[in-house]
Structure 1
Amino acid sequence: MTQLDQTEDQAPSTAASDRDLPENLSATEPTADHMPIGGGLPIIQYWAQKTLSPQGPQIWQTLFHKSACLSCAWGTGGQNGGFINELEEPLQRCMKSVQAISSELQPGLGDHFFARHTISELQALTSREADRLGRLSFPVIRRAGSDHYEPIAWEEIYQLTTAGFSLPPERVASYSSGRSSNEAAFLLQLMVRALGSNNLADCSDLCHAPSTVSLNKVFGTGTSLVSLESLRQADCVVLVGSNAPANHPRLMNELIELRDRGGKVLVINPVREVGLAKFGSPAHPLRLVQGQDIASMFLQPIPGSDLALFVGIQKVLLERGWVQFDYLKAHTENWQAVIDQVAAADWESIIATCGLTLTEIIAAAEMIHSSQNVVFAWAMGITHQANSVDNIYSIANTALMTGNVGKPGAGLMPIRGHSNVQGFGSMGVTAHLKDSIREALEKLLGKSLKRESGYDARALIEASDRGEVDTLLCLGGNLYAANPDLTQAKRALGNIDTIIYLATKPNQGHFHGLAQQNTIIVPVYARFENPHKTTVESGNNFVRLNSPGKTHLTKGDLVTEIDFLAELAHRIHGEDPIQWRRLHDTRYVRQLIAQAIPGYEKIGEIDDTSAEFTISGRIFLEPKFPTPSGKAEMQPTPLPDLTLPTLQDFGLPNTQPSAMVLALITGRSYGQHNTVVYKEADEYRGMPHRHCILMNPSDAERSGFAQHQRVSVRGDAGQLDNIEIIFGEVRSGAALMFYPEANVLMKARIEKRAGTPAYKRVPVAVFLH
């Protein structure tokens, strides 16, 4: 591991002491043998190791703090306690929450750190090493031509940032992640739109936009149609393209309880993830060691072929007379065109496209048909495809054909990632603003706003690569590492004159995503440290209230995101069209949100009532939808062409021995949150480090490869060498490598309607170098 200064300012933390361990292991990482179940005793061991460490009292204090979890959007915490969910149930925390909290509780960087270490040194750090440096505790700048960050005064930061945002509005932009609050999100978009710019890129553009686009088209709403309470009434969950045991562990409690009450879980995933087969949860201690069976049926389609599978399920429903035609006629539009397309689809094409047998497809259809209340849930295995919008249309069509939308215990449930990524969309942080919000903002600002869409995340990179962006403010996130084609991302960001990063900790983007003139890092408080109340939104449309807190960085020179944005907005806009400095008061911000954001009216009273709430108009318990017709608008879904290129297309002879072309899935490890890596090894998949490729043993053996052999992997944008082959339960023709390291391989293949790249089906050549 690269040896840099240990963090200073506080007593040594667990994170600091872990730095002396070997690169591929931490104190709780076993060897790379496959784990027999997901979860189980390793969770208890990890909790014990963290909470009984010298850092333990701080971790426990934060766990009980009344603020929403820093990890996924499942949405624990809030005004009724840090362990409480929206149904007032206790003990709702997971290992990912502890990982995130422990990382934020690291000591602050010493004031000599950046003087001692060049940017060239820092660029050699892995994601885990960058995160382990500690907390950002004072503002710094990297000026043009310098190989060092250096301290900067707050007044100069505001001067440089104000000058940057005084340029023509089409040349300024923002990027954000879901780590922040609704109040900061609302203020960010208000400030940028008041300039006359809609360049409000967001991390959801790279992950969840297809869900928003497709659900809005079919149902008139872009979020989950299912509440947690409604999920409890389902007797079947269809879980597609999700590694919930790693990314949303508390969802596993819902699946365990569904199985306990006799329900069924249909899992669709090209990788047979251990935790989706069997999971041991501390919330069910009697089965913690042995685990609970999760998947009633596990289907492993070809990556990118989920649509073909759902068309096959629909064809079985049609051929067996199981389609609910009365429901379709009463509650949907365009149903006949969809039925005609399904009838015309031939079984040979469906089976060839998805790679499953007719028997498997029939069994899946029978499971859905025999269930009373079905929830269809999906994550980025669906949205990270070149045909992701059509994928979700096909899921929606299946739900509608079986009458499983608009009643308790049924519906569509996209599983969001970052803890407030959905809240940012609700607040209007999007390049494509809804007319209703735009009209409300125009009334608030007293002026017309630009109608044309701005840059989403991919369009922002492309525009920057063309030299068309001068100023960028990043509210959290890691725009560099989250993008495909890291070479392009680095070049594009390097064309921007001024970049301002608001962050709690260093990440690779701060060292590789350097602006042409000024790169500024502004240290901000973590959610549980903010001295004012804030709110966030869960993936099931529930708004949580975070209590004020305080930081352990007693010697730090930090700022809240709200205070930074309010001061910047004042310097840009003055007192017109609103008194921007009043927005330092988050209560006032919430009153503005109540006026501008449909469904958020109750947030204007939350300071007085402390009443958290479900956003109105999103959960459907009857089949009436906010579309022009009041009906769901079904969409035809053409089968995708999933032809892979040849070795020759990668510059290799088609006759080359020990070489093959695969459909690569890029994914997170079990010890990872977004681009932040907490653990190098992934014991669940048997991958001892992050430079591995998980392959089907029969694929490898047919091409002359052996377990643990080192190979090269080449995509259309780059190549990685010395990659270790690990045999695993991935379907034939597919493979898995870790994101974001594998992003260097791929150019961005974009779903044009959503702007989202196809990270989950990347054609690559694997060969001996």
Structure 2
Amino acid sequence: MSRDVDHLTPIKDRPLQQSSPKEVAAGIPAIFSTMSHGLSRMGAIRSISNLSRVNSFGGFDCPGCAWPDPDDDRTAFEFCENGAKAVADEATRARADPNFWSKWSVEELSRKSDRWLNSQGRLTHPMVLNPESLHYEPVSWNSAFNIIAEHLSALDNPNEAIFYTSGRTSNEAAFLWQLLARRLGTNNLPDCSNMCHESSGVALGDSIGIGKGTVKLDDFSKADLILVVGQNPGSNHPRMLSALKSAKVAGASVVSINPLLETGMRRFKHPQDFLEVMGQGTTIADMHIPVNVNGDLSLFRGLSKSIISGSGVDYDFVEEYTHGFEEYEHAVANTSWDNIVSTSGVARHDIENLAAAMRSSSSTIVCWAMGLTQHHNSVATIQEIVNSLLLGGHIGRPGAGLCPVRGHSNVQGDRTVGIDHKPSRGFLDALRNTTGINPPISHGHDSVSSVLAMLEGEAKVFLSMGGNFVSAMSDTESTSKAIQKCDLSVQISTKPNRSHLVTGKTALILPCLGRTEKDVTPIGHQFVSVENSMGIVHSSRGSAKPASKHLMSEPGIVSGIASALDNKIGFSGIEWSDLSDNYDKIRDLIESSIPGFDSYNDRVRESSGFYLPNPPRDSRTFNTDTGKANFRVNSISSISPAPNQFVMMTIRSHDQYNTTIYGLDDRYRGIKESRRIVLMCKQDMSTLGIRTGVMVDLTSHFEGEQLSAPKWRVVEYDIPAGNIATYFPEANCLIPLNSVAEGSNTPTSKSVCVTVSPTSQNMRFWNRSATQAA
């Protein structure tokens, strides 16, 4: 049957509340927010119990971001405001049990907001949505596993199955997940990295031989200069502010490079420092560079131009450790300042002032997040950053290096243990030798190509290890149609989300344990492991009572699916239940398959875990095609909107984590009660003849394709002219599916050409305002 479900959160015209952006991050408001979320969702006793164990030695890893914990000394409360929100969200007392699913049809639930869906609490039972039904019904675990096995075994081709992975998945669960996919015979292993930091991995792998950053946490206190580019640490990685504060105390300079000057880069009050909370706090950014959206490539080309002309090149390092300098030097010399300034939106004297600071710095770190990774030229932009650091020899030196800051707590670890649609032959050979399976060699689908395959009927089963794929992906309408064409969709989840409502003909919800919860198997209390943004692998052991006795662990769920599949198509040679009973055995397989995991079970039990090898950082060794770090020459490019168009980027509020919406208070930006907003500068508002609060429609334009979304409230904000910002995931519906980054195929969520037009009900006001402005 055809289900009439809404693939977007409903449009509700809430009265916008706006105040001035905050000057200080954290402090007393963060303390109150933490207490409020903890007490309202977990209660006092559970708040104390859970928050005292998050990121502690022997405790559980925060289910939020991937910022690392200190190797040695840790505070009693090693978490931030948004980490506390993530813990409270998972450990909530609310329950979405079978009565909830009996009361509400999927059609009715789809009319509810994403925030409302999340607030209904933890899933408690496996549920099935049958093809002729509008309501989920309870199903036994064995029946659920058999449904999946029947669909997988009936496929004409293993590549008709998609195995998606969210970045919160543990190393152990992720390794089993990819093993199941490859045992079936497919490398269709898209993951959330395809939508965010894939550009970082591609660029760094080509330039320095490893798709990861090259710094440790203690490098921040040793740095002379830290550039924070395309990142909002105050909301998305709040504990990073502690590292930046330590760097400032040690004498470093910090520069913010972003179209928006975010509050976290202004001033910071550490919530656990009483004197600082009561005082003025610490100024973080010494300089702010308001670069145009998608102007970073030009900016860093300008920095390199000034570094080279100002005798800032470390020629000893360049000669010994790099390849391609002469070609790059020639390209830089042939790039005009007019081109650099016009495309970056940054004045030449500001670029040269920053370049002077880079020349005088003996140790420079460049950090970045998705503000750099979701453009058509993101790979080239990140390689330009690498080029600028290679000029000064800032890799493999204390206090220096490259620092891509990952957004999800184990997205880097998932890739390390095999969640990769383009696996290396070396990994596949090792997997074959270790497990006895015969993994496929041909590359599989990433996130974008998975949607295209489902739309074309080339993929018929979609299985998701965590996440909310429907809401997270670009072009929400196309993504929804793709999922709905599937015969079966499976979500392994902790809480309700829109991907439980926009489904295949048959759908399963498989509820799993969360990070906070005790994982007990027939042989005892298990723990899992994760890898943070700086390559540290460490344990995570939950201790809370599970939300329901009917939950299973993620490794247990994968084992159940795999065992049922073995019963259908023949024994794989893998004792799946042994692996899910004893996670040490999973780690033994990882150790035998993946370099760097020597003595995995011993080292992961050490209090701080262990660092994976990082040749550029550890020994200035670069495993590239040339055997050296590569200067890569890319042409200067930027997005070129038509005269009546703006460049739109999507951003997150302070009250959300990825697609999870905690509330409606973007506190630092001074925006409350509304998420359907457009940030626009005063100059552009004057040109259009509108004021704050006016409702507009947005239409994106890409290669003749147009996507429209109505009813957005305009908010005056300090953003470069010609640029606007909207919230993710609401604006994903405007991002064309085929608009992707070159080389990484990442959706261009930060570079969308849009037109702004009056919503029909405001046409009269718009015309009157425009006339008055003229």
* TM-score, scaled relative to structure 1: 0.91
Structure-2 change in CA distance of 1:643 and 1:611 (3 Å): closer
Alignment deviations for residues 136-190 of structure 1 (CA, whole Å, 9 cap, x no partner): 0011111223222121222221111011222221111100111121000000001
197, 207, 211: which one pairs with 2:186?
A: 197
Contact kept, 8 Å, 1:407 with 1:622, in 2: the verdict is no
Output the CA distance in 2 between the equivalents of 1:292 and 1:23: 38
User: How far has the Cα of 1:442 moved from its partner?
Assistant: 1.5
Secondary structure of the equivalent of 1:499?
strand
Q: Does 1:461 align with 2:428?
A: no
Partner of 2:50: 62
Secondary structure of the equivalent of 1:501?
strand
The alignment yields a C-alpha RMSD, in angstroms, of 1.9
Contact kept, 8 Å, 2:432 with 2:439, in 1: the verdict is yes
349, 358, 361: which one pairs with 1:359?
A: 349
Output the CA distance in 2 between the equivalents of 1:622 and 1:606: 22
Secondary structure of the equivalent of 2:710?
strand
Q: Which amino acid aligns with 1:127?
A: D
Partner of 2:766: none
Partner of 2:120: 133
Q: Does 1:687 align with 2:671?
A: yes
Q: Which amino acid aligns with 1:496?
A: C
91, 96, 110: which one pairs with 1:109?
A: 96
533, 557, 576: which one pairs with 2:550?
A: 557
Structure-2 change in CA distance of 1:284 and 1:630 (3 Å): farther
Structure-2 change in CA distance of 1:389 and 1:553 (3 Å): same
Output the CA distance in 2 between the equivalents of 1:52 and 1:751: 43
Partner of 1:17: none
Structure-2 change in CA distance of 1:673 and 1:51 (3 Å): closer
Partner of 2:765: none
Q: Does 1:669 align with 2:665?
A: no
Structure-2 change in CA distance of 1:519 and 1:722 (3 Å): same
Q: Does 1:314 align with 2:308?
A: no
Contact kept, 8 Å, 1:32 with 1:682, in 2: the verdict is no
Secondary structure of the equivalent of 2:227?
strand
Output the CA distance in 1 between the equivalents of 2:224 and 2:687: 42
User: How far has the Cα of 1:686 moved from its partner?
Assistant: 2.3
Structure-2 change in CA distance of 1:610 and 1:602 (3 Å): farther
377, 381, 386: which one pairs with 2:367?
A: 377
Partner of 2:231: 242
Deviates more, 1:258-267 or 1:140-149: 140-149
Q: Does 1:710 align with 2:695?
A: yes
Secondary structure of the equivalent of 1:620?
helix
User: How far has the Cα of 1:23 moved from its partner?
Assistant: 10
Contact kept, 8 Å, 2:188 with 2:446, in 1: the verdict is yes
Output the CA distance in 2 between the equivalents of 1:44 and 1:367: 36
Alignment deviations for residues 193-252 of structure 1 (CA, whole Å, 9 cap, x no partner): 122200001001100111111111111111111111223311211111001110000001
Note the 1:440-589 alignment, pairs <5 A.
440-512=430-502, 514-515=503-504, 517-529=505-517, 530-531=519-520, 532-554=526-548, 556-573=549-566, 575-584=571-580, 585-589=582-586
Structure-2 change in CA distance of 1:569 and 1:552 (3 Å): closer
Secondary structure of the equivalent of 1:59?
helix
Output the CA distance in 1 between the equivalents of 2:509 and 2:81: 29
The unaligned stretches of length 5 or more in structure 2 are 1-11, 54-58, 521-525, 760-774
The unaligned stretches of length 5 or more in structure 1 are 1-21, 77-84, 648-660
User: How far has the Cα of 1:646 moved from its partner?
Assistant: 4.5
Secondary structure of the equivalent of 2:441?
coil
User: How far has the Cα of 1:538 moved from its partner?
Assistant: 0.6
User: How far has the Cα of 1:628 moved from its partner?
Assistant: 4.4
Alignment deviations for residues 611-654 of structure 1 (CA, whole Å, 9 cap, x no partner): 6111123561442222344310121021114210354xxxxxxx
Secondary structure of the equivalent of 1:453?
coil
Partner of 1:615: 612
Contact kept, 8 Å, 1:301 with 1:355, in 2: the verdict is yes
Structure-2 change in CA distance of 1:422 and 1:571 (3 Å): same
User: How far has the Cα of 1:596 moved from its partner?
Assistant: 0.8
Partner of 1:650: none
Output the CA distance in 1 between the equivalents of 2:142 and 2:310: 71
Secondary structure of the equivalent of 1:698?
helix
Partner of 1:233: 222
User: How far has the Cα of 1:722 moved from its partner?
Assistant: 2.5
Q: Which amino acid aligns with 2:236?
A: N
Q: Does 1:73 align with 2:66?
A: yes
Structure-2 change in CA distance of 1:763 and 1:628 (3 Å): closer
Partner of 2:250: 261
Output the CA distance in 1 between the equivalents of 2:366 and 2:175: 31
User: How far has the Cα of 1:469 moved from its partner?
Assistant: 0.7
Output the CA distance in 2 between the equivalents of 1:511 and 1:52: 30
User: How far has the Cα of 1:47 moved from its partner?
Assistant: 2.5
Secondary structure of the equivalent of 2:685?
helix
Alignment deviations for residues 557-594 of structure 1 (CA, whole Å, 9 cap, x no partner): 21111111112212223543322222112110011111
Q: Does 1:698 align with 2:683?
A: yes
Contact kept, 8 Å, 1:593 with 1:604, in 2: the verdict is no
Q: Which amino acid aligns with 1:71?
A: G
Contact kept, 8 Å, 2:213 with 2:534, in 1: the verdict is yes
Q: Does 1:631 align with 2:659?
A: no
User: How far has the Cα of 1:607 moved from its partner?
Assistant: 6.7
Partner of 2:335: 345
Secondary structure of the equivalent of 2:305?
helix
Secondary structure of the equivalent of 2:675?
coil
207, 211, 217: which one pairs with 1:222?
A: 211
Q: Does 1:298 align with 2:288?
A: yes
Q: Which amino acid aligns with 2:380?
A: D
Q: Does 1:147 align with 2:134?
A: yes
Q: Which amino acid aligns with 1:354?
A: S
Secondary structure of the equivalent of 1:747?
coil
Output the CA distance in 1 between the equivalents of 2:97 and 2:239: 37
Contact kept, 8 Å, 2:102 with 2:135, in 1: the verdict is yes
User: How far has the Cα of 1:51 moved from its partner?
Assistant: 4.4
188, 202, 206: which one pairs with 1:213?
A: 202
Output the CA distance in 2 between the equivalents of 1:323 and 1:165: 57
Partner of 1:188: 177
User: How far has the Cα of 1:541 moved from its partner?
Assistant: 0.5
Q: Which amino acid aligns with 2:147?
A: L
Q: Which amino acid aligns with 2:266?
A: A
Partner of 1:93: 79
Contact kept, 8 Å, 1:201 with 1:430, in 2: the verdict is yes
Structure-2 change in CA distance of 1:609 and 1:252 (3 Å): closer
Output the CA distance in 1 between the equivalents of 2:14 and 2:89: 18
Contact kept, 8 Å, 2:220 with 2:246, in 1: the verdict is no
Note the 1:413-428 alignment, pairs <5 A.
413-428=403-418
Secondary structure of the equivalent of 1:200?
coil
Partner of 2:318: 328
Output the CA distance in 1 between the equivalents of 2:590 and 2:370: 29
Contact kept, 8 Å, 1:675 with 1:740, in 2: the verdict is yes
Contact kept, 8 Å, 1:431 with 1:455, in 2: the verdict is yes
User: How far has the Cα of 1:304 moved from its partner?
Assistant: 0.8
User: How far has the Cα of 1:521 moved from its partner?
Assistant: 0.4
Contact kept, 8 Å, 1:385 with 1:761, in 2: the verdict is yes
Output the CA distance in 1 between the equivalents of 2:332 and 2:372: 20
Contact kept, 8 Å, 1:32 with 1:683, in 2: the verdict is no
Secondary structure of the equivalent of 1:576?
coil
Deviates more, 1:714-723 or 1:57-66: 714-723
Contact kept, 8 Å, 1:72 with 1:418, in 2: the verdict is yes
